[in-house]
Amino acid sequence: MKQIDRLSALGLFDARVPRYTSYPTAPVFSPAVGAPEQAAALGALPPDVPVSVYLHIPFCERLCWFCACRTQGTQTLAPVESYIDTLEQELTLLSGVLPKGLRMGRMHWGGGTPTILPPDLIKRLAQAVKAAIPPTDDWEFSVEIDPTMVDRDKIAALAAAGMNRASIGIQDFDPQVQAAIGRAQPFEVTRDCVDDLRAAGITSLNADLVYGLPYQDAARISDTIDKVLSLAPDRIALFGYAHVPWMAKRQKLIKEETLPDDLARYHLAELAADKFLNAGFSAIGIDHFARPGDGLETAMRTGHLRRNFQGYTADTCPTLIGIGASSISRLPTGYVQNAAATPAYTQRIAAGQLAGVRGHVMTDDDLLRARAIEMLMCDFRLDRRVLSNDELDATCAEIAAQYGDLVELTDEALTIRPAGRALTRIIASAFDAHKPEGVRYSQAS
Ligand SMILES: C[S@@+](CC[C@H](N)C(=O)[O-])C[C@H]1O[C@@H](n2cnc3c(N)ncnc32)[C@H](O)[C@@H]1O
Ligand code: SF4
C-alpha cells in the first residue's frame, strides 16, 4: 500500500480531532468553574515564580473570510477605546487578588488585531499591565501584527513598551488566493512592515502561513514561500486551513469547490515543509519551523518545547494569566476562561467581578494525560519513564498494535516515527479521556 493510502486508512483525512493547544480542550470547560475559583487560584500563586500574560484584543478593521479567530469587526476606534477602559479595570481587579511581588516573565498580545490600537492606547495598555504585574528584567513581549494594520508610530510605541518579538500574519501572497479569503495584502506592504520591525529591534520574527486555502496550488504556495524566505523570518507557523463554517460563520463566503481536496492539501503541506527544511529551518512539532539558534529551535533541541493556547512556545512559565474577552488562564488548579462575548465580559468587569465564567479543575489523571498529549505534540515521543500508569500503558500498547511501524514502543518511550507524524493529532487523541458530545473539530491533516 502506498504511504498516503496507509495514512488515509488510519484516518488522516477523516478524523476530526482537536489541535490540543490545551488538554482538556476548551469545549470541555464547564460553568461550574468561574470567578470565585479564578480569584482563589490567582491569590494562591507563588509570588516568586514569574507568570506569563496573554492579552486578547478582539477587534479587526477587516474580517478576513478564512479566519476562525475570536474577533469582531469595527470601523471606528470607539469600541476599542472603551475595551481598553475595561481591560484597565480588569487589571485593577487582578491587582486586588494577585500576591504582592508577582512578576511577569512573558506577555503576548493576540487577537483579533492588537495593532488596531493607536500609539496612545498601546502606551496606556502596556503601562496598565506593568503596573499590575511588573515585568522581570529579561521578560519577553510578543505581539501579533497585521502588516496592513500597522505603521511606524505603532511599532515605535510597541517597541518603547518593550516588544522584542513579533508575529506577522501572511497566510498567502497570491492575489487570487487573497481575493478568495477576503484579505488583500501586498508583498511590498509586508516587506516594509518587516523592515520597520527589524529597525525597531525585533530579534525574533514569526510569520503565519496557511495551507489548504482556496485556489492554492503547488506553484502558488511555492511562490509565497520564496517571498516569505526573502523576508528572513526566524520562525514560521504553517497552519492547515481549518474550514469550520458552522463555528466561523464568515467562512461561508468561501466557496468549498475552490478548496484543494484532501490529497492536494496534503501535498501542499509537504511541499511547503520541504522548502523550509531545504532553506535551513528545523521542523518544530506538527506545524512550525524555526531557524537554528532561534528560541523555539533551542527549546525543541533541548527538550523544553511546550504547547499552549498560542501554539508552540519556549515559554516554561507554569502559569498563564489570560486577560480580556474570551482569554483562558492556565492556573495551578486548572483552566478558567473569561466571558467570550465582549458585552458579557464588559458587564462582569463593570460589576466589579473577575470575568471567568467557565473552566476545568485538573485531576491527577488530567495532568498526566495533558503532559502525555503535550509530549507527543511537541516531541513525537511520550517518555514512559516519566509518565506511566496502567491506563496510559494500555493506550500505548493499543497504539503500537494499530499503527505498526509508524510508531515504536519500548519500555522507555512511545515514539511516533517520521513516517507517522502526519497522524500525531490522531494518535494524541487516543489519550484524551474527555470527548465532548456534539463538538465538531477541524480535520487532522
Ligand atoms: C489572530 S490571527 C492574528 C493575525 C493578525 N490579525 C493578522 O491578520 O495578521 C492568528 C493567525 O491564526 C491563523 N488562522 C486564523 N484562522 C485560521 C483558520 N481558519 N485556519 C487556520 N489558521 C487560521 C492565521 O494564520 C492568523 O495569522
Ligand atoms: S486574520 Fe487577522 S485581520 Fe483577518 S480577521 Fe483574523 S484576526 Fe482579523
pLDDT confidence bin for 436, thresholds 50/70/90: confident
Q: Which ranges of 57-186 does DSSP label H, i.e. alpha helix?
A: 78-97, 119-132, 152-160, 175-180
Q: What is the pLDDT of residues 26-43, one digit of tens each?
A: 999 999 999 999 999 999
Which of 61, 64, 170, 189 for a ligand 2 pocket mutation test, highest count of atoms within 8 Å of Cβ?
Answer: 64
Sheet containing 413-416: which strands, arranged edge to edge?
Answer: 381-383, 413-416, 407-409
Q: Is 71 helix (H, G, I), strand (E, B) or coil?
A: coil
Region 9-20 average pLDDT:
92
- Which ligand is nearest to the Cα of residue 110, counting in written order? 1
CB burial string 368-380: b at 16+ within 10 A, e below: bbbbbbbbbbbbb
Q: Is 369 helix (H, G, I), strand (E, B) or coil?
A: helix
From CA 154, how far away is CA 59, in angstroms rounded?
A: 16
Q: What residue ranges line ligand 2, CB within 6 angstroms?
A: 60, 62-64, 67, 69, 71, 111-113, 146, 169, 183
The per-residue pLDDT for 146 is: 98
Residue 51 CA to ligand 2 centre (angstroms): 27
From CA 339, how far away is CA 330, in angstroms rounded?
A: 15
| Residue pair 420/407 in contact by the 8 Å Cβ criterion | yes
Q: Which residues are CB-contacts of 385 (< 8 A; sequence separation ≥ 6)?
A: 412, 413
Cell triple for residue 149?
494594520
From CA 228, how far away is CA 184, in angstroms rounded?
A: 16
**Residue whose CA lies nearest to ligand 2 atom number 6:** 67
Residue 69 CA to ligand 2 centre (angstroms): 7
The per-residue pLDDT for 437 is: 73
**Residue whose CA lies nearest to ligand 1 atom number 5:** 146
Residue 67 CA to ligand 1 centre (angstroms): 6
From CA 76, how far away is CA 81, in angstroms rounded?
A: 10
pTM comes to 0.95
Q: What is the pLDDT of residues 111-146, one digit of tens each?
A: 999 999 999 999 999 999 999 999 999 999 999 999
Higher pLDDT, 24 or 316: 24
**Residue whose CA lies nearest to ligand 2 atom number 3:** 60
Q: Is 260 helix (H, G, I), strand (E, B) or coil?
A: coil
Q: Which of 80, 113, 112, 71 is nearest to 250 (CA)?
A: 71
pLDDT of 191 > 80? The answer is yes
Does ligand 1 lie within 6 Å of residue 142's CB atom? no
